[in-house]
């Protein structure tokens, strides 16, 4: 007798629009990219259709080096539902390129998180359709 497979709880999807699709597609390729205005050259994140400085609609992307610094963080306790198994550390990371982004923190316990700590991106392949950039301390820390 065949058994019904147990449904697997998928990670919630970030908002993906035609303006943000390039970011998530790059993440699936394990690349962290930053949108760049091709008129004035400024970098921007989160992605948006026009440059907030010169209003140009023309843009391309640059690959980030993946290094950054923790600017601030929070601990999400709710909702604690599958696939999550505990509180989530969420950081605001300032990349070496100057833009900031929000991402999960991995490889560090809450009591060891420190504002200003150097971080390195890595990629969490959640399921076949979703890869998330997450950040890990760039230097070994005692837990």
Binding site for Zn ion (CB under 5 A): 37, 39-40, 51, 53-54, 56
Q: How far is the CB of 60 from Zn ion (least distance, A)?
A: 12
Phi, psi of 40 (to 5 degrees): -105, -10
Give the residue among 19, 27, 25, 18 at the shortest CA–CA distance from 44.
19
Give the residue among 53, 34, 52 at the shortest CA–CA distance from 43.
34
The residue among 21 and 55 lying less far from Zn ion, judged by its C-beta, is: 55
Q: How far is the CB of 56 from Zn ion (least distance, A)?
A: 5
Q: How far is the CB of 61 from Zn ion (least distance, A)?
A: 14
Cβ(108)–Cβ(122) under 8 Å?
no
The residue among 37 and 95 lying less far from Zn ion, judged by its C-beta, is: 37
């Amino acid at each position: 007798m065949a058994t019904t497979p147990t449904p697997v709880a998928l990670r919630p999807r970030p908002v993906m629009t035609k303006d943000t699709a390039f970011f998530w597609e790059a993440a699936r390729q394990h690349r962290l990219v930053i949108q760049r205005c091709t008129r004035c050259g400024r970098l921007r994140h989160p992605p948006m259709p026009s440059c907030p400085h010169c209003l140009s609609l023309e843009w391309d992307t640059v690959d980030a080096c993946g290094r950054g610094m923790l600017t601030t963080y929070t601990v999400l306790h709710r909702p604690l539902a599958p696939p999550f198994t505990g509180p989530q550390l969420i950081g605001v990371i300032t990349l070496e390129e100057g833009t900031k982004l929000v991402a999960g923190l991995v490889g560090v316990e809450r009591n060891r998180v420190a504002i200003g700590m150097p971080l390195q991106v890595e990629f969490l392949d959640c399921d076949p359709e979703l890869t998330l950039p997450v950040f890990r301390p760039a230097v070994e820390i005692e837990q």
